[in-house]
């Protein structure tokens, strides 16, 4: 059995690998080739968000990483793996639990008045995060949550046809992430208290899970679940 200190050293890596295992289970279970393609493409793009780790390090949390990379460089392998996992899982949960497929949006539909905000909806999250990061002293996790909420509202206005998927995905991912986070709390008692900067956030724990993590899961599920359809001009249909 691993020494406790060694377990704490590798907790972030082990937890990231667990998420990849969940990703693989979801991926191989999907019956639709397009859903698998959707999941892989979005995961690859989302993995780039792992490079934002320097923004959160020390401000939000300070996990130990492989080779102490984050303490030496600000970056780590785990953040890329974790981002890859959550991005793909979020975007296909709706298709995973419900019998749904995709269809192309016609050129005529693309010219509807509401699609004038298409580009704003796509860019709203990074733009909002950047503004909040540069103009306020908010903890980066709150900037992220606010930006995801702003992006969700603009997306819902621009693509009301995605409302059901976005709302369902928000709660589905919240549930999945809640259970996933409980594995960390159970396997590594005291890890949250030693790694998360609870004094810089609310400090509220729900069964050992920081409240901000749950708020992130809900807003991330709400916004990111629509990113494939929105950027690829696809709509959700009932699978026959």
**Model pLDDT for residues 116-144, shown as the tens digit of each residue:** 777 777 888 999 999 999 999 999 999 99
Burial of 62 (0-12, 13-18, 19+ CB in 10 A): middle
pTM of the model: 0.91
Per-chain mean pLDDT for the chain: 90
Q: What is the pLDDT of residues 215-233, one digit of tens each?
A: 999 999 999 999 998 888 7
**d(Cα 119, Cα 230) in Å, to the nearest integer?**
10
Residue 210 pLDDT > 50: yes
Tokens 């900037």 -> residue: 143
> What is the DSSP-derived secondary structure letter of residue 233?
T
Give the whole-angstrom CA distance, residue 106 versus residue 128. 30
Give residue 21's pLDDT band: very low, low, confident or very high (50, 70, 90).
Answer: very high
Mean pLDDT over 88-94 rounds to 94
Q: What string of DSSP letters covers 95-153?
A: HHHS-EEEEEPPHHHHTSGGGGGHHHHHHHHHHHHHHHHHH----HHHHHHHHHHHHHH
């Amino acid at each position: 059995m691993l020494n406790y200190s060694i377990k704490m050293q590798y907790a972030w890596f082990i937890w990231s690998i667990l998420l990849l295992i969940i990703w693989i289970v979801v991926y191989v279970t999907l019956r639709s080739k397009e859903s698998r393609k959707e999941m892989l493409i979005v995961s690859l793009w989302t993995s780039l968000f792992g490079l934002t780790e320097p923004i959160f390090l020390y401000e939000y949390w300070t996990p130990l990483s492989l080779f102490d990379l984050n303490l030496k460089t600000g970056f780590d392998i785990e953040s890329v793996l974790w981002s890859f996992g959550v991005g793909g899982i979020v975007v296909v949960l709706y298709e995973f639990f419900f019998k749904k497929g995709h269809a192309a949006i016609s050129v005529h539909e693309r010219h509807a008045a509401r699609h004038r905000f298409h580009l704003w909806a796509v860019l709203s999250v990074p733009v909002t995060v950047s503004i909040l990061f540069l103009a306020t002293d908010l903890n980066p996790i709150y900037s992220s949550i606010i930006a995801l909420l702003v992006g969700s509202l603009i997306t819902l206005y621009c693509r009301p046809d995605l409302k059901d998927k976005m709302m369902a995905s928000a709660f589905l991912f919240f549930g999945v992430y809640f259970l996933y986070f409980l594995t960390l709390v159970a396997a590594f008692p005291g890890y949250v208290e030693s790694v998360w900067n609870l004094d810089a956030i609310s400090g509220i724990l729900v069964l050992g899970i920081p409240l901000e993590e749950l708020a992130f899961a809900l807003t991330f599920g709400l916004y990111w679940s629509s990113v494939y359809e929105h950027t690829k001009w696809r709509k959700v249909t009932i699978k026959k």
